[in-house]
Amino acid sequence: MKYIKFFLFILCISLGFCSFYFSQARLVVNGAYMVIDNAAYLVVDNPNANAIVRNSGHIISEDEDDNLKWNIGTTVGTYTIPWGYSTTDYLPLTFTKNAGVAAGNIIFSTYRTGTWENSSYLPAVIGNFNNALINDHSEFAVDRFWKMQANAYGTKPDLSNIIFTYADIEHTVASNTISEADLEAWRWDPVTSTWYQYGTDGVANTVANTVTVDNISAASYMDWWNLISNISTALPIEMTEFTASCSNNRVEIHWTTESEINNIMFTIEKSDDGVNFYPIGTLDGSLYSLFPNSYSFYDNSYSSSAIVYYRLKQTDIDGKTAYSDIIANSCASETSDFEIVSIFNNGSDILVFVEFPKTMDVSYFLYDTNGKLIQESQLLNNDGNVLPITFDKRNLLVGIYYLSFFNKETLVKTVKIPINK
């Protein structure tokens, strides 16, 4: 019978952590199951890729603070962290390190979540499990997190051929809604406080239980990663239109779906600040449809020219929910004396072209979705001209912004501007 060999790192117990060093030596895992526990560090001071060799057995972390610290520095090569779970699952993390400036290190850890609900088992530095489509994507996510924290590098490493390995039980539990073949690598962005699908996505191997990412550049290097199935295809509806417009002092919210699967209901939600939403009505879904369907709902409670925000909550037959994008509207736009001709992204700037049919003075204000003012200025005496307003993308985070125009003190138009760097 195989046994579990515990490396009990008990240095400095009073400090709450301890360390074990391998300096210019090799750690050969040959049938043992080595457990890192109690916020311990296994420190590998040999930068070469063969400093850890695994024949059988593995290293067990299973907590965000049970770390393997590898002082790789500027050395390049193909590295494998022989992670595993208990004595049953070998879950290696493999990557090729191509670059990195200064004598840095990478701290690794990984752990399985206690249930399918990843949002209840987040790393301490992560505040949510949200993305641009839905507020909690736990049901689409493999029940495991990976940490690859690069430290003390002047320029973070450039990695290629990164291979994440997961166990069957981490995607097959009943409450998950995972298309295994569509699994992709997602990363946590601490600047925007959200999870993003990594640009090169990844290639899933459902036989080997792996997802391979071609490259993680230094600029895209983030500490925390997860594997998530394609949320856009997993949602039970395909929406092609979602708008809000004013008519007779009320707002018509209109949307069109191209297809629906198990869609039982839409809940229309409203917000005065773009953050805190409340329901204002419901409409039945089409349950199952492969043909376009159009829906309209009227907000009769609208009573001012202020900006209001709307979104849709979709509920399927199993009670699962998902959210649409957020749209903004102001009925003061019915009296607008100018038009937004186009919004153009030239790669470095966002250009908003405004047409003025007559002489007028207009102030404009750019807000983020939290209502924070980002930029403001004026357009003066523009008789019959089409003028651009320029926003430098370097000063903006990825996300949605709202550009509001005022004629004197009256709001006359608000437009939604997506920023995708």
For the chain, give every domain's residue range: 5-231, 235-329, 336-419
pLDDT of residue 394: 76
* Six token digits for residue 336: 């607008």
If you search the block for the tokens 């040999």, which residue do you land on? Answer: 46
* Six token digits for residue 310: 């709307």
Q: Tell me which architecture the domain covering 235-329 has in CATH.
A: Sandwich (2.60)
Give the best-scoring range by mean pLDDT among 166-180, 264-278, 337-351, 399-413.
166-180
Overall average pLDDT of the 147-169 stretch = 94
Q: For 58-104, how does the pLDDT look when each residue is reduced to its tens digit (9 = 90+)? A: 999 999 999 999 999 999 999 999 999 999 999 999 999 987 667 89
pLDDT of residue 234: 46
Q: How far apart are CA 178 and CA 201, in angstroms?
A: 16
Overall average pLDDT of the 257-268 stretch = 88
More confident residue, 409 or 318: 318
How far lies 151's CA from each of 35, 78, 155, 301, 382, in Å?
24, 19, 10, 53, 53
Q: Report whether 404 contacts 299 (CB < 8 A).
A: no
Please report the beta strands in 229-276, taking only residues with DSSP state E, as ranges in sequence order. Answer: 237-247, 250-271
Identify the bridge partners of residue 27 per DSSP, sorted by sequence position: 52
The answer, as to whether pTM is greater than 0.75, is no
Distant-in-sequence, close-in-space partners of 24: CB < 8 Å, separation ≥ 6: 45, 46
The secondary structure element, H or E, covering residue 169 is helix 169-172
Identify the bridge partners of residue 294 per DSSP, sorted by sequence position: 256
* Six token digits for residue 114: 């206690």
More confident residue, 40 or 133: 40
Distance of CA 394 to the CA centre of its chain: 20
Query: How does the average pLDDT of the chain come out, rounded?
Result: 82
If you search the block for the tokens 């043909």, which residue do you land on? Answer: 291
Q: Do 235-329 and 336-419 have matching folds?
A: yes
Torsion angles phi and psi, residue 50, rounded to 5? -90, 15
Distant-in-sequence, close-in-space partners of 1: CB < 8 Å, separation ≥ 6: none
Q: How far apart are CA 227 and CA 135, in angstroms?
A: 17
More confident residue, 341 or 186: 186
Overall average pLDDT of the 198-204 stretch = 71
Identify the bridge partners of residue 343 per DSSP, sorted by sequence position: 352
The secondary structure element, H or E, covering residue 286 is strand 277-289
pLDDT of residue 375: 85
Q: Does residue 43 surpass a pLDDT of 80?
A: yes
pLDDT of residue 12: 31
- β-strands 19-22, 41-44: how paired? parallel
Confidence class for position 328, pLDDT limits 50, 70, 90: confident
Q: How far apart are CA 40 and CA 16, in angstroms?
A: 8
Distant-in-sequence, close-in-space partners of 342: CB < 8 Å, separation ≥ 6: 352, 353
pLDDT of residue 365: 84
pLDDT of residue 52: 96
Confidence class for position 233, pLDDT limits 50, 70, 90: very low
Q: How far apart are CA 186 and CA 397, in angstroms?
A: 18
Q: Does residue 182 surpass a pLDDT of 60?
A: yes
pLDDT of residue 49: 95
Domain 336-419 has CATH 2.60.40.10: yes
How many C-beta neighbours within 10 Å does residue 335 have?
Answer: 13
